[in-house]
Amino acid sequence: MIYRGACHCGVVSATYETDQPVRLRADGCSFCSSRGAKSASDPEGILQLTATKPLTRYRFGHKTADYLICPACGTYVATHMESERGAIGVINVVGLQIGELKNLPVTLTSLEGESVEERLKRRASRWTPMTLAEPT
């Protein structure tokens, strides 16, 4: 199945392809919970993120991934990092306004106490291979 979405103003758009049933997660951290983020990923899927302006990047906690934010409307759209598998990411289906997904039930997960190594290993095994296109 192919899902398409965009941020509030349309500067950032995404195409997310998966053959698996979509299961949404919310990690409960203050950044994501304050934005109502619901995350989706599939390690066998494909994620393409395109922006017409350079994205704003925010790092916190372990500082191991970039939280991608639209520079025009301020919407948190995805998280991105480099791994041994190449670029991988997770999308925020609420921020990308993906109607078919944003109202699905969400599983609350806790990442508290996870070491840097554990976090990187989990992401590498669960996040979606992605391409990111933005002007420099």
**pLDDT tens-digit profile of 38-83?**
999 999 999 999 999 999 999 987 899 999 999 999 999 999 999 9
User: For residues 46-69, b (16+ Cβ closer than 10 Å) or e, as one string?
Assistant: ebbbebeeebeeeeeeeeebbbbb
Contact at 8 Å (CB) between 90 and 8? no
Tokens of 136: 């420099």
Where do we find the tokens 């999308």?
A: 91
Q: Are 29 and 110 in contact (CB under 8 A)?
A: no
pLDDT in tens, 105-133: 998 876 777 788 998 998 999 999 999 99
pLDDT on residue 126: 94
Q: Tokens 């993120």 belong to which residue?
A: 49
pLDDT of residue 65: 94
Which pLDDT value is given to residue 134? Answer: 97
Judge whether residue 18 has pLDDT over 80: yes
For the chain, which residues make up each domain, given as ranges? 2-133
Residue 123 pLDDT: 92
Is domain 2-133 classified as CATH 2.170.150.70? yes
24 to 37, 38, 42, 82, 102: CA distances (angstroms): 10, 6, 11, 22, 9
Contact indicator for 132, 52 with CB cutoff of 8 Å: no
Predicted local distance difference test score (pLDDT) of residue 111: 72
> What is the distance between the alpha carbons of residues 105 and 58, in angstroms, rounded to a whole number?
27
Q: The tokens of 134 are what?
A: 């933005």
As a whole number, mean pLDDT of residues 5-9 equals 97
Q: Are 68 and 33 in contact (CB under 8 A)?
A: no
